[in-house]
Chains A and B, each alone.
Chain A
C-alpha cells in the first residue's frame, strides 16, 4: 500500500543548481499539496493543486514552480536553489472535499550549500 511516494529522500545541492522533487499518489485523490517544514515554523504550504489541470500558490511560493503532470503526479521544481530553501519537503494528497483527510509522503530532505 504505497500511498504518497516522494523522491528523492535526500539531496544536496549547490547554490544556483536546479532540481525537481517528484511526488506520486496511488489513492485516486483529486488534490495534491507541497509543504515545507522548518524548525519553529511548522508546516507552510508552497503550492497546491485542487484538481488535475489546476495549480495555486500557497503561503511561500517564491523560488518554486509546480507541475500537475496527471492525476497521480505533482512535481516541485527549484529553478535556482538558494540556502534559504534548505528544508524538509512534504507532499500530500486528499480527496479534495473540506472534511476529508490529507495523507503525507515520508518527506524529502534538501540541503542547499
Chain B
C-alpha cells in the first residue's frame, strides 16, 4: 500500500527566512513523488515532481524538493520565503510500477509566512 505522511499540520516562518515542509512516504519499489499547492478557495496546482535522476528537483515559484531514498523523504524547500507563499501544501506519491493507480495524498501542511 502507498501512503504519505506530512508530520506538521502548520508551519510558520518569517518572510525572508528559508522554509521546509516535510514529507515522508511509503511505497513498494521506487516512488514518483509530487508537491502541490492550494491557495484559498482554489484547486490544487502542481509545483514539482521527482521521477528519476537528480535528487534535488526544482519547481515553480522558486521551490525545490530533495528526494532522500534512505530516509524515504521528499521535503519541500525554499531559500527565502515570501508572504505570497502562504498556502496549503500537499505531498503525493505513486509507485513506479503502480501504472494507472491514483496518486495518494498527504493530509496537507498549512504554511504561514509572516511579514
Interface residues of A (CB under 8 A from B): 4, 30-31, 33, 35, 40-43, 45, 48, 50-51, 58, 90, 92, 96-99, 101-107
The dominant DSSP class at the B interface is: loop
A71 → chain B closest CB, angstroms: 15
Interface residues of B (CB under 8 A from A): 9, 32, 34, 36, 41-46, 49, 51, 90, 94-103, 105-108
Chain B residues contacting A33 (CB-CB under 8 Å) are 102
When chains A and B are docked, how far (Å) is the Cα of A40 from the Cα of B101?
24
User: Once the chains bind, are A98 and B43 in contact (CB under 8 Å)?
Assistant: no
User: Once the chains bind, are A41 and B107 in contact (CB under 8 Å)?
Assistant: yes
A80 → chain B closest CB, angstroms: 26
User: Once the chains bind, are B103 and A42 in contact (CB under 8 Å)?
Assistant: no
Chain B residues contacting A40 (CB-CB under 8 Å) are 9, 107
User: Once the chains bind, are B100 and A42 in contact (CB under 8 Å)?
Assistant: no
User: Once the chains bind, are B102 and A45 in contact (CB under 8 Å)?
Assistant: yes
B6 → chain A closest CB, angstroms: 8
When chains A and B are docked, how far (Å) is the Cα of A41 from the Cα of B43?
16
A63 → chain B closest CB, angstroms: 19
Residue of A nearest to B52 (CB): A99
